[in-house]
A = this chain, B = another copy of it.
Amino acid sequence: MTVDRNGLEVLGTEECLNLLSTERIGRIGITSGAMPVILPINYRVEGERILFRTSAGTKLDAATRHAVVAFEVDHVDPVYHSGWSVVVTGMAEPVEPSDDDRLWETPRWAPGPDERLVAITIGDISGRRVESGGLGASWSLHDSG
């Protein structure tokens, strides 16, 4: 097991991709009006691409037309004080309806008008895991605060 300087387990690419597929909601980091913004999105993974929907004319639409974005998914078990996170950086681009009908079977955070489908092609992917009890100190501190 590889650990980083903070004692967190470093996850391999395959495991990161597998973990991405186990969740439904992630967060995308974009630039909007020169400011950084994070938004929750419903997503799914198709090969090396992360797919999500948005509506034409939104901030998210404008910021995902051929732009490098960040994407993050995590899962925390409050009982066992364990968790993992997977972090992606990649190029976001619109998917044309003609590209592949099955791609459009992608959920979204909330229904909206004039839907677009966006694909993030995974460039960098990395992940960390905190083993059972590893979050203990933090959570105790938090509980007492």
Residues of B within 8 A of A65 (CB): none
Minimum Cβ distance to chain B for residue A20 (Å): 13
Contacts of A86-145 to chain B: CB distance below 8 A:
87, 89, 105-113, 124, 128, 130, 134-135, 137-139, 141-142, 144-145
In the complex this chain forms, how many copies of it are found?
2
Kindly state whether residue A27 has any CB partner on chain B within 8 Å.
Answer: yes
A38-B72 in contact (CB<8A): yes
- Given A6-B112, A27-B72, A55-B6, decide whether A107 and B38 contact each other with a Cβ distance below 8 A: no
Which residues of B are found within 8 Å of A83, using beta-carbon distances?
A: 40
Quick one: which of A6, A71, A89 has the most chain B CB within 10 A? A6
Could you tell me if B138 and A42 are in contact, using CB atoms closer than 8 angstroms?
yes
Tell me the bound Cα distance from A7 to B110 in angstroms: 8
Chain A, 71-87, contact with B by CB distance < 8 Å: what is the 0/1 string? 11010100000010101
User: Which chain A residues have a beta carbon within 8 Å of chain B's beta carbons?
Assistant: 5-8, 24-25, 27-31, 35-40, 42, 44, 55, 57-58, 68-72, 74, 76, 83, 85, 87, 89, 105-113, 124, 128, 130, 134-135, 137-139, 141-142, 144-145
